[in-house]
Structure 1
Amino acid sequence: MKSPDRITGTLTRCIGHEKRRDRRFSVLAIIATVIPSVASIVTRHVKGSVLSNHGFIKGFVRFSKVFMVGWNNSARPNNPGHSQFFARLRAKMPHRNIFAFLAVCAKVWFERRRGGMRPSLASGVQLERAKRERVLVDKIVATTKGAFGGALAVLWTTGAAFADQPRPWEWRFQDAATGIAEQIHWFERYTLWFIIPITLLVLFLLVWVVLRFRASANPEPSKTSHNTAIEVIWTIGPVIILLFLAVPSFQLLTAQYSPEDPTLTVKATGYQWYWGYEYQVDNPVSFDSLLLKDGDRAAAGKEDKSRYPRLLAVDNEVVVPVGETVRLLVTAADVIHSWTIPAFGVKMDAVPGRINEAWFKADREGLYYGQCSELCGKDHGFMPIAVRVVSKEQYQTWIAAAGSDLNGANKALQAAVEGGANDKVAAAGL
């Protein structure tokens, strides 16, 4: 049996990849473990059941048998026909643990399809990178031996390590930074208590009807045309459920459109493809906020991509004080855009010739990211939004200097924030 690092190296040479997707590995391990198990169960138990005549099940069972026969015969000398294919496959990837084999194979194939890779033979650098994956592969091999909890633990800890910055495959809401965002998150969890049972009930009824009322079990079908009790239940039941959903949703909607008296008013104007901001204060401040290019990071002092993520960092952030209500006026100069900060629970369309109003009140300091959320042309995906929430004292110092020297005020604020303990990069959104 080859060692895990040799397996990964062989896979790398066969398929070719350059960029790793470690955080997705634990998910692929679970999938690669479940699929063979399901195939095995179907192959063993579907024969003779009511589903055995279904065309898809027949094809699935036939495919499973052909695959397993070919795989087993590939170990024999002088194997004929299609088994030679499996022999070549086994020779290239001779791993006896089929689950670990599938997990590694799925990982490399996924990277080839989704990352910035080229399908070529692996270079020495790639092989060294594959060797460094040994610890990760060891975890997958251990996971696929039956410890599903271990795989889930790896997935959990991997996600927790990147809880305060943008991360791929994020499947939950970003951390809330305003009271409105907290209410949105609560309402989403609240609705799941209704949606999941209803979905399971409908699925159960569908399977039950298919099996119970199939033609072979009902040679003489029932001629019942209606049932008063059932009709009353399926009318009153949904009405009650909708009432339970409507009341908190209207409460949330009312809160979104009932802002406190604003301390600060900022006008955001969408252009193709950047944002412009105007502070309505005694000493007016206005500036454009453009995507920060990789070549400009050093000059801006923003080389740390964990704090200033690629394709989300900007040259000039919006600066607001913590704990203060900010009134946001949103418009556009050319086409429709949308100003969105997921952590604030704010998404407002920017329409040419019209000013829309939104508001937010950040509860904690940090650097929060968003993006334009309305398709607006070829560079729609390169219109990031960055809002830096600072203390009231830091904001007053910044706004006093920004009117005459915006660049100097930004650098002074950046140095003060990064030198303290309050620079927390919040989750970014699409």
Structure 2
Amino acid sequence: MSTWLNIDLQDGMSPLMEQMIFFHDHTLMIIIMITVMVGYMMVSLVNNSLINRYLLEGQMVELIWTIKPALALIFIALPSLKLLYLLDEISDPSITLKSVGHQWYWSYELSDFKNLEFDSYMKSLDSDSQFRLLDVDNRVVLPYSSEIRLLTCSMDVIHSWTIPSLGIKIDALPGRLNQAGFMMSRPGIIFGQCSEICGANHSFMPIVVESISMSMFISWLKLY
């Protein structure tokens, strides 16, 4: 989870989020190189060290400052397109989780094994929760290293099921079923929140996913 004054991205809890972090760093390096080069040229022009007839006119100069931006865009576009297709791909999911947004809480259904349904409310401020405004009374328990299919919709207004460390953000729309896929790479507790302004208590409907092993997940299912 994130910490105070953290300006970096959260640590990735899924392979897709790790790829998005790699792409962010890759693009940032290209932007830094472009910024340094353009800044150096601007300073040099102010100092009159680059002003000559070869810079002000000539096909070679125009060819260079046309090809270089095109190459930079290609180096950004190719990994971006690959990542977009990976984010949209759902291959042979093991478990289907249905999330229904309400004002202002989430309802979950795990119907692959049996009719398991529960509501997830934020814990009150006077409870013994260690995570203020983030913990819930009923966490979503899912196994890691398993492909999860998420189906989401809303019963009233537009919500958004968002967990940054999983790299997932999907709108929950009334009258429409949206689908997304994710896979957690290690055990832990993952926090998220509704990221669509859905009303007065918009910031009080958190999302908590507990990532455990498959054997512990089966034991958890037996409790219901």
Deviation at 1:322, TM superposition (A): 1.7
Shift of 1:200: 1.7
Match of 1:270 among 101, 110, 113: 101
Q: Which amino acid aligns with 1:254?
A: Y
TM-score after normalising by structure 2 = 0.90
Residue in 2 that maps onto 1:94: none
Q: Distance in 1 between matches of 2:185 and 2:126?
A: 34
Larger Rg: 1
Does the Cα contact within 8 Å between 2:104 and 2:202 map onto a contact in 1? yes
Give the conservation status (yes or no) of the 8 Å contact 2:89–2:181: no
Q: How do 1:125-144 residues align onto structure 2 when only pairs under 5 Å count? A: none
SS in structure 2 at match of 1:294: coil
1:378: how far off?
Answer: 2.1
Whether 2:7 is the aligned partner of 1:168: answer no
Gap regions ≥5 residues in structure 2: none
Partner of 1:230: 61
2:68 partner amino acid: G
Q: CA deviation at 1:205?
A: 2.8
In 1, Cα distance between the equivalents of 2:57 and 2:177? 54
Find the counterpart in structure 2 of residue 289 from structure 1.
120
* 2:125–2:133 CA contact under 8 A, matched in 1: no
What residue is the counterpart of 2:150 in the other structure? Answer: 328
C-alpha change, 1:241 and 1:285, in structure 2 (3 Å) is same
Residue in 2 aligned with 1:255?
A: 86
Letter of the 1:383 counterpart: M
Question: Which protein has greater RCO, CA pairs closer than 8 Å, 6+ apart?
Answer: 2
Query: Counterparts of 1:188 and 1:166 in 2: how far apart (Å)?
Result: 17
How many angstroms does 1:236 deviate by? 1.3
The residue number in structure 1 matching 2:133 is 311
Give the aligned length: 221
Partner SS, residue 223 of structure 2: helix
Q: Aligned partner of 2:171: which letter?
A: D
* Alignment-derived partner of residue 369 in structure 1: 191
Offset at residue 263 of structure 1 (A): 0.9
Identity across aligned pairs (percent)? 40
Equivalence map 1:411-422=2 (5 Å): none
| Alignment pair present for 1:193 and 2:193 | no
C-alpha deviation, 1:380, in angstroms: 1.7
Given that 2:144 and 2:185 are in contact with CA atoms closer than 8 Å, whether structure 1 keeps it comes out as yes
Shift of 1:210: 4.1
Structure that is richer in strand per residue: 2
Shift of 1:371: 1.0
Deviation of 1:313 after TM superposition, in Å, equals 0.6
Deviation at 1:287, TM superposition (A): 1.3
The structure in which a higher percent of residues are helix is: 1
- Taking structure 1 as the reference length, the TM-score comes to 0.49
Moved >4 Å (runs of 4+)? none
2:44 is aligned to 208
Q: How many angstroms does 1:326 deviate by? A: 0.8
More deviation in 353-362 or 226-235?
Answer: 226-235
Matched, 1:401 2:219: no
**Aligned partner of 1:200: which letter?**
V
In structure 2, the partner of 1:421 is none
Deviation at 1:294, TM superposition (A): 2.3
Shift of 1:296: 3.2
The one-character-per-residue Cα deviations of 1:250-295 (angstroms, maximum 9, x if unpaired) are: 1111211222211110111112222111112242111111111122
Structure 1 residue runs of 5 or longer lacking an equivalent are: 1-164, 298-302, 403-430
* Amino acid of the structure 1 residue aligned with 2:11: D
Structure 1 residues 232, 354: closer, same or farther in 2, change over 3 A? same
- From 349, 352, 368, the equivalent of 2:174 is 352
The Cα shift of 1:400 comes to 2.6
Provide the rounded CA distance (Å) in 2 between the counterparts of 1:333 and 1:210. 61
Q: Distance in 2 between matches of 1:282 and 1:181?
A: 28
Give the superposition deviation at 1:352. Answer: 1.6
Deviation at 1:208, TM superposition (A): 3.4
* Change in CA separation of 1:230 and 1:366 when aligned onto 2, cut-off 3 Å: same
Return the letter of the residue paired with 1:229. M
Q: In 2, Cα distance between the equivalents of 1:399 and 1:202?
A: 59
